[in-house]
Amino acid sequence: MNLTRLKAVARKEFIHILRDLRSLGLAFGLPIVLISIFGFALSLDVDQVPIMIWDQSRTPASRDLISRFDGSKYFSVSGFVEGYSIIENGLETGDIMAALVIPADFGMKEQAGKTCSAQFLIDGTNANTAAIVKGYAVAIAQAFNQELRIQRLEKKGPVKQTPAAELRGRVWYNDDMESRNNIIPGVIALVLMFLAVILTPMSVAKEWETGTMEMLISTPVKSSELVIGKLIPYILIGFMDIVLAILMGEFVFNVPLRGSVLMLFVCAVLYLITGLALGLCSGILTKNQMAASLITMMVSLLPTIMLSGFLSPIAQMPAFIQGVTWIFPARYFITILKGIYLKGIGFNGISFEISALVFFATGILLFSIKKFQRKLE
């Protein structure tokens, strides 16, 4: 490999990028847009759930139960109603997500020491959200039930009740349980893959369409020099996008970065090379900008969103889909990002994922060079 020819190809690609202001704007504007959208608009946190309350009992016991929902950060009482028709209308229109219905005999049964029940209605349109809301309501009901049990025992005599077992929960790695701490690191993988989808497939395909590839073929430039030379400018742009993403995560969204910044950059560059090489490969195979972009999107961008653990845990996917995820580099990079960002994991904890990225980056790059060499022949 001749460094002079490699430098010349990289310089040519730099000039091409600088002259194409739209592509340059996408390269730096897209990360800002994506991180802002995912950081501000996308939230997996479920809080301030709007609920309606129909209190038919109107007793101290029912008011105590209502106060627990009203005082919780997870619920927001939107109004007190009379009748199921209003509740049903609110659930249908989406004005509320849940409703608490307390029967008329609630207070009487509580005073008599009997089991007093209440009804909690949930909009199950979104199954995951409904399950979380149900969990919140059950937790409030259990705390209320425990207090009633203690009060009833105290009425029988001054006997101190000590629980047989006590479970104390503590959250590690994401103490505030903010979903953005999990989302923002994953957006880095999405930003880098967007860069590969938008810019690199067009780099080679456009050369074929405009006829400049024939001019390059007539020069002494080798296929490896041409492929690597074309990658270098985009690697540098991707490197700057990584810096931008980290700075936005740190100072805009306050996402903690507990691990090694150097290791994060090394892994990000490996993943970037994989995506860029894949984009170049599609451009070499198709010789068409639109087709190259679509192919790259299908085999890289969509798996990054759907099959990497970015939004949905891989463990919750069907067994067959879990097996499919192993062939996509995004799976390993997302694991690395979350490990470095949230857990501060060192090399030993992610050595397998790093090895997988090295394998993918090397393999796809060599495959691209081989395919381009055949095209030249």
Question: What are the residues whose beta carbons fall under 8 Å from the beta carbon of 70, sequence distance 6 or more?
Answer: 77
Fold of 49-156: abc type-2 transporter like fold (3.40.1710)
How far apart, in whole angstroms, are the C-alpha atoms of residue 61 and residue 104? 11
Segment 74-85, tens digit of pLDDT: 899 988 988 888
Mean pLDDT of the region 102-109: 87
| Position with higher pLDDT, 307 vs 171 | 307
Nearest-5° Cα angle at 43, 41 to 47: 120
How far apart, in whole angstroms, are the C-alpha atoms of residue 48 and residue 175? 19
**Beta-carbon neighbour count of residue 17 at 10 Å?**
18
Q: What percent of the chain has pLDDT over 70?
A: 86
Alpha helices, H only, the chain? 3-19, 21-36, 60-70, 84-93, 106-111, 127-156, 180-198, 200-210, 212-217, 223-251, 261-286, 289-296, 302-306, 319-324, 329-338, 351-376
358 pLDDT exceeds 90?
A: yes
Q: Residue 265: helix, strand or coil by DSSP?
A: helix
Strands 98-102 and 119-122, bridge-based pairing: antiparallel
| Position with higher pLDDT, 159 vs 295 | 295
Mean pLDDT of the region 152-172: 63
**Beta-carbon neighbour count of residue 113 at 10 Å?**
12
Mean pLDDT of the region 67-94: 89
pLDDT at 160: 57
How far apart, in whole angstroms, are the C-alpha atoms of residue 303 and residue 320? 15
pLDDT at 16: 76
Mean pLDDT of the region 170-186: 78
For tokens 């939107």, what's the residue?
Answer: 78
Selection from 236, 223, 74 nearest residue 141 by Cα = 74
Segment 38-54, tens digit of pLDDT: 877 776 667 889 999 99
374 pLDDT exceeds 60?
A: no
Selection from 309, 353, 159, 184 nearest residue 256 by Cα = 184
Question: What are the residues whose beta carbons fall under 8 Å from the beta carbon of 61, sequence distance 6 or more?
Answer: 106, 107, 110, 111, 116, 148
Cα end-to-end span (Å), the chain: 18
Q: Map 319-374 to HEC letters.
A: HHHHHHHHHCHHHHHHHHHHHHHHHCCCHHHCHHHHHHHHHHHHHHHHHHHHHHHH
Q: Residue 14: helix, strand or coil by DSSP?
A: helix
Mean pLDDT of the chain: 81
pLDDT at 52: 92
Q: Residue 24: helix, strand or coil by DSSP?
A: helix
209 pLDDT exceeds 70?
A: no
pLDDT at 241: 87
pLDDT at 205: 62
**Contact (Cβ atoms closer than 8 angstroms) between residue 136 and residue 74:** yes
Per-domain boundaries in the chain: 3-42+178-376, 49-156
Mean pLDDT of the region 175-196: 81
pLDDT at 110: 79
